[in-house]
Amino acid sequence: MRIGILGTGVVGKTLGTKLVKLGHDVRMGSRTAGGESAKAWAKAAGGKSSEGTFADAAAHGEMVFNCTSGMVSLDALKAAGAKNLDGKILVDVANPLDFSRGMPPTLSVCNTDSLGEQIQRAFPAARVVKALNTVTAAAMVEPSIIPGAHDIFVCGNDADAKARVISLLTTEFGWKEVVDLGDITGARSQEMILPLWLRLFMKFQSPNVNLHVAR
């Protein structure tokens, strides 16, 4: 599958590298084409990897991952261009973490709205699926680095888009339990896990922590 990755941070690189290894044709996008970080990634990833602008990456992908910082995601997606996102599955991995008040960060939007919803409203023809925002990058693509049963949450308005993301998560990334939280308003609950996640990260001094739904 042709995949676009928006963002050249740890999340974008980790997802991109895994997807290349799985045989996908992955283009990483950043604000300007030819940046050192994206070029170095494409060289190291090998396979079908390339880099370009946000718009290049979005145009390339049948599925597009938003791996930008949550505070700039809407701007990055505007740079990617609505026409390059129309009809695409847009996997929103970002968290609207605001570090301006110091550590731990707070959320710049929560409770009555979410970044996932903001993105869906701003790009109504994109098929937004919120996913993977509740675990550290390495665990996104290799959940077994965290021992025992633990789950990943997804939500979104488009059932087919969600089914395709769930399929990728289970058959390609190895997630055993995907919990579908319903429509995109479920992004509020997924993003509001972050304060707990950050607290657990600080307590256990490890990012390899996740939640399991017992019932």
Residue numbers at the binding site for a copy of itself (CB under 8 A): 101, 106-107, 110-112, 146-150, 153, 179-182, 186, 188-190, 192-193, 195-196, 198-200, 202-204, 206, 208-215
Of 36 and 148, which CB lies nearer to a copy of itself in the complex structure? 148
* Identity of the residue, 26 or 152, whose beta carbon is nearer to a copy of itself in the bound complex: 152
Min CB(154)–a copy of itself separation in Å:
12
Query: What is the secondary structure of 68-108 as a DSSP string?
Result: S-GGGHHHHHHHH-HHHHTT-EEEE----EE-TT-SSPEES
Q: Which is closer to a copy of itself, CB of 61 or CB of 186?
A: 186
C-beta of 175: minimal distance to a copy of itself in Å?
13
Q: Is 7 or 186 the residue whose CB approaches a copy of itself more closely?
A: 186
Nearest by Cα to 74 from 56, 60, 89, 54: 54
Q: How far is the CB of 211 from a copy of itself (least distance, A)?
A: 5
Running DSSP on this structure, what letter comes out for residue 147?
-
Phi/psi region, residue 4 (left: phi>0; alpha: psi -120 to 50; beta: rest), is beta
Q: How far apart are CA 134 and CA 119, in angstroms?
A: 18
